[in-house]
Structures are given as structure tokens and as C-alpha cells.
Copies of this chain bind each other. A is one copy, B any other.
Amino acid sequence: MTQKTQERVVYVNGEYVPEAEARISIYDSALMFGDMVFEMTRSFHKKQFKLREHLARLMAGVKILHIPLNQSVEDLERACLETIERNDPGFAADDEHRLMIDVSRGLLGIYRGVAGLHKGPNVIIADFPLHWTVAGMGKLFESGINAAITSQRAIPAILLDPKVKNRSRVHYLMANIEASKLEGEDNWALLLDPDGFIAEGTGDNFFIVKNKTLITPEGRNVLRGISRAYIMQELAPQLGLPAVEKNIEPYDVMTADEAFMTGTPFCMIPATSLNRVPIGDGKVGPVTRSLLDAWSRSVGVDIVKQIQAWDRQRTADASGAPTPYSFKGKK
């Protein structure tokens, strides 16, 4: 994980600039309105996972927000791969590439007279080490997190559609702050929608396991995660586990056998309690483990061991740059 000396570069509208230069004008619609769609990916053994699916979801958001982007999925994919190629020499051998792909509308009309600025749309592709994002998570694969239902609710799709992955999400941050006020270091916010159904974490999807069946909230008020789809459509069938979308409530979680959250950087994290009520026997369960194993086998990387190894290195290396997630329990 030793950072090499070569500096990372970021793709910005067709050019590659040093990472610290990858910035957005204060007059950009992204900053004025949170008007930016984005994706964040990861690699396994340096090979991007489901990049196409991420880009397709990005393009759906572009269309729905009426951003006049001229590039195709293929164009973006090429740019992603070139960005990785340029940065890889600076990555440690055991590192993985986490891409952040941003598309914003660009300058609002009234600021178009400002000289020296790209009018937009803006396309930005950053590439940084995955271990930043998962720093400190290693132990959570053993203990599981406590899913904490916050007073902050998910905003329902009729008001702000979470299925368009965009940057207007200060309410996720508020939920993270709220969870950080709870006792313990293992609280991850879990949002209910206004109907009381489990929606999602603040950047992750949620599953329960009941009688060997995987159940995840309907796609209504949640980001439809790529990891979520991978489990539903590929891993679960492989393991012969039925997987269904259903409205679920805290009661269903508290009477389930197991639960876990999914997210691109860490794949799956067990959730062993909800508001400190143990889920099942309060331990990481066999279905969760078998899914993690199957995922690891499928991508040729031991997902848990990789993250735990990074944590050990970070602890050993006292200068350990990346602070693990800043609000307690959540990146």
C-alpha cells in the first residue's frame, strides 16, 4: 500500500491534470444546485468491476436532468480506462483503483461571460486508492455494524429521486452526523422513508436474510446499487438463494436471521443489530459469509482479507495518511 512517488492525475474534459487541480468553478451548476451526477467504482486486482453498469446509470441521470452531454458510454469508458492506465504506475501493487466519475451541467447561463472557464458540461474522472474509502472497516466484517435508524428520513422519490445519483444529498450527511452522536463506534445510519419502510444507508443498500431468502427494499426510494443488483441477479442465483424486493420495516429486520449492507467499496458489511436489538443471534451469519465468499471467489480477491490487510498496514505505518471515515462509524 506504500504510496509511490508518481502523482495521480485526473481526467477533466479531455485533459489530464494533477489531482489537486481537479476542481470545479464556484459558478458551476454543480455547486450552485448540487446539479451533478456521478458514479464511484472499484477494481478487483486492478480490473474495474461492472464499469458498464455504472456508466449506464450515469447516462440515465444525465438524460433525466436534461444535461446536454455529447459523449457516449463508450467515450466515457475509454476515458476511464486511460485514466487508470496513467495512474497505475503510482499505485501500490496491492492497491485497487477507485474511480469517481462526475458529470455536471457546467456554468449557469448568467456566468458564461467569465473568461477562462469551460462552459460545460463537465466530465471529470478521478482515480484514487480504494483503501482510503475502506480505512478502518476491517474489524466490522467480524463484529458487524449497528444499523441506526435516524430521525432524518430518506427523501421520497416524488420529491428528489435517489435513483438519480446526484450531489444534492446534504440530508445523507445530516444522517451521518446524527448517527455519530450515538454511543459506540460501529453505528451506520439507516434511513426510513416517510412511510416507515427501510430505504437505504447513506451510500449503501440494505438486505435482510430470513429463512435463507434475501430480501431488500423495493427500488423506489433508494439508489439502485450495482452491488445490490449483482447480489440479486448473480450471486444469489449462483448459491441457490431466492432474492426478492419487498417493503421491509424495522420489525422485519429485528425478526430476521441476518442482515448486511452493500456498497461498491466494501461489497458487503454484516449488520448484527438494529438500534442495538440483535438481529438473529447478533453474530455474522452463514448466508452473509457465503455471499462474501462467493463474491471473493468470483473476482479472485479475498474481499475481507484485503481490507483487513490495508488496516494493519495503516496502523503499522504511523504516518497513516487517510483518516478513517470522519463521522464516527461512517466514511
Contact = CB atoms under 8 A, between A and B. Distances in A.
B35 A173 contact: yes
Given A115-B20, A254-B64, A331-B108, A29 B163 contact: no
A182 B276 CA distance: 11
Contact of A168 (B63, B108, B113, B169): B169
A110 B34 contact: no
Interface string A193-227: 01110000000000000000000001010000000
A111 B130 CA distance: 11
Interface stretch (A45-53, A145-153, A291-299): A145-153
A159 B164 CA distance: 18
Given A322-B110, A326-B108, A102 B26 contact: yes
A276 B166 CA distance: 20
A283 interface: no
Contact of A171 (B112, B128, B160): B160
A100 interface: yes
A181 B178 contact: no
Interface in A115-152: 115-117, 124, 126, 128, 132-133, 135, 148-152
Interface in A163-190: 163-164, 166-174, 177-178, 181-183
A276 B151 CA distance: 14
A95 B195 CA distance: 44
A112 B33 contact: no
Contact of A30 (B31, B183, B276): B31
* Residue among A60, A116, A155, A168 having the largest count of chain B Cβ atoms under 10 Å: A168
B31 A170 contact: no
A265 to B, nearest CB: 10
Nearest to A108: B326
Interface in A281-331: 321-326, 331
Contacts of A110: 132-133, 135, 322-326, 331
Given A25-B22, A117-B20, A249 B161 contact: yes
Given A168-B34, A169-B168, A182-B182, A60 B26 contact: no
A64 B278 CA distance: 9
Contacts of A26: 10, 22-24, 100, 102, 124, 126
Contact of A170 (B166, B249, B250): B166
A2 interface: no
A124 to B, nearest CB: 6
> Max chain B CB contacts within 10 Å: which of A172, A178, A181, A323?
A181
24 contacts: A19-B115, A24-B31, A26-B100, A26-B124, A32-B167, A33-B167, A34-B169, A35-B170, A63-B278, A64-B251, A64-B277, A108-B326, A109-B322, A109-B323, A110-B132, A110-B322, A110-B326, A151-B192, A153-B158, A155-B155, A160-B160, A166-B170, A168-B168, A220-B247
Given A34-B168, A35-B170, A35-B173, 5 more contacts: A19-B115, A23-B25, A31-B31, A63-B277, A158-B195
